[in-house]
Amino acid sequence: MTQQLERYRNARIAGQRLEVSGQDSAAALGQNAVKSAYQLWAERRGLIQDEPPESEKMNFARIMEDVIANQYAMTRAARLHRGNPVQRHPRYPWMVSIMERMLEGERRGLEVRNVDLLAPDLGDWGEPGSGAIPVECTLQVCHDMAVTGYAVWDIAVCIGGNRLQVYTIERDLELEQMLIEGEHEFWQCVESGREPDFSYDSAQAQSLLQKLYPHTDGSTVTLDDTIQYWHEVKNDAQKQARTYQAVVDTADAHILKAMGNASVGTLPFGGEYRRRETTREGYAVQAQSSIECCFVAAGNRRDG
């Protein structure tokens, strides 16, 4: 742990970027679905490495950035430039803005996004021209406007690879002040080493703990009454899970017995169960056949 903290200090002395950028804002405030404030804190403290996940989707997003920006510029008859890509808040040196693009001759920034076709249907993005954008994007833009002093920011979004929607966000000083206070509290945790709250119920909790504690050292620790409580919660939950699974298995047995060899069993109030034979290809084990039984809700029936 001491060596990791030393690497963190050396990184700061070397001038490496360890501040809070707009891309970090949602995580620092506990509003990022992928990265918690604790994980960001651990990265800034040098306890774990910041390893952005690589995926084909992310690679395409990077490729599409210039395409989206160029389309935005063409439809707006605007000229874009990068200028000084990194700016620091004049009062809070730990706040930086990594500006990808800005409009020439205007104090207006531009953020580009490439999203799935179904993103608007899921409620992530509202009507074009509205301020209905994801919280993570709102906080990023708010952060960047706080650092740069810009009064307006556009978000050019390519939806499904063939539709451009533009959202304009104006500076909100009240939201900005709350954001600064929240980020400042987070940064004080980084500076002092004080841990922020750990999101035990997040989907990333287990993987984060694996990164924080990847090895065993042979030592023994005495766990306190709080952990005894969680041990009992875990045991109770496992018992309930087994009980409910037994109920599911019993219900399946009733349904399968009633269907016999039938392929389809219809329910009195709609919906049906379907049985079909499936064969698993033999690899390390011998090929085997089994019967799958799945429920199909009313209105979702398809032949075949």
Integer Cα distance of 42 and 38 in angstroms: 6
Residue 277 is part of which domain span?
225-296
Integer Cα distance of 176 and 146 in angstroms: 7
Asked whether residue 140 is assigned to any structural domain, the reply reads: yes
Asked whether residue 209 is assigned to any structural domain, the reply reads: no
Asked whether residue 259 is assigned to any structural domain, the reply reads: yes
Residues 176 and 53 in one domain: yes
Asked whether residue 218 is assigned to any structural domain, the reply reads: no
Residues 174 and 271 in one domain: no
Residues 198 and 229 in one domain: no
Amino acid at 160: G
Angle at CA 77, nearest 5°, toward 74 and 79? 90
Asked whether residue 207 is assigned to any structural domain, the reply reads: no
Integer Cα distance of 208 and 206 in angstroms: 5
Task: Report the number of distinct structural domains present in the chain.
Answer: 2
Helices (H) and strands (E) in the chain, counts: 8, 10
Asked whether residue 66 is assigned to any structural domain, the reply reads: yes
Confidence (pTM): 0.74
Q: Helix, strand, coil % (nearest 5) of the chain?
A: 40, 20, 40
Asked whether residue 274 is assigned to any structural domain, the reply reads: yes
Structure tokens of 239? 């018992």
Listed in sequence order, the residues at least 6 apart from 80 whose beta carbon sits closer than 8 Å to its beta carbon are: 69, 72, 73, 101, 102, 103, 104, 110
Integer Cα distance of 75 and 154 in angstroms: 13
Residues 165 and 292 in one domain: no
Residues 97 and 159 in one domain: yes
Structure tokens of 177? 């002040």
Tell me if residue 224 falls in helix, strand or coil. coil
Asked whether residue 213 is assigned to any structural domain, the reply reads: no
Residues 194 and 290 in one domain: no
Residue 274 forms beta bridges with which residues? 264, 294
Q: Are 65 and 114 in contact (CB under 8 A)?
A: yes
Identify the CATH number of the domain in which residue 67 sits: 3.90.320.10
Residues 28 and 98 in one domain: yes
Do β-strands 96-98 and 264-266 pair in parallel, antiparallel, or remain unpaired? unpaired
Given this model, what pLDDT does residue 51 score?
64
Q: Are 156 and 72 in contact (CB under 8 A)?
A: yes
Amino acid at 80: L
Q: What is the pLDDT along the chain (304 residues), one digit of tens a residue?
A: 444 445 445 554 444 446 898 989 999 999 998 899 999 999 888 888 776 656 676 777 778 888 888 888 888 888 887 766 778 899 998 998 887 788 887 888 889 888 877 776 666 787 777 778 899 999 999 999 999 999 999 998 888 878 888 899 999 999 999 999 999 999 999 999 999 999 898 888 888 888 898 888 888 888 899 988 998 998 899 999 999 999 999 999 999 999 999 999 999 988 999 988 777 666 555 666 555 656 566 666 555 4
Q: How far is CA 262 from the centre of its chain?
A: 44
Residues 92 and 166 in one domain: yes
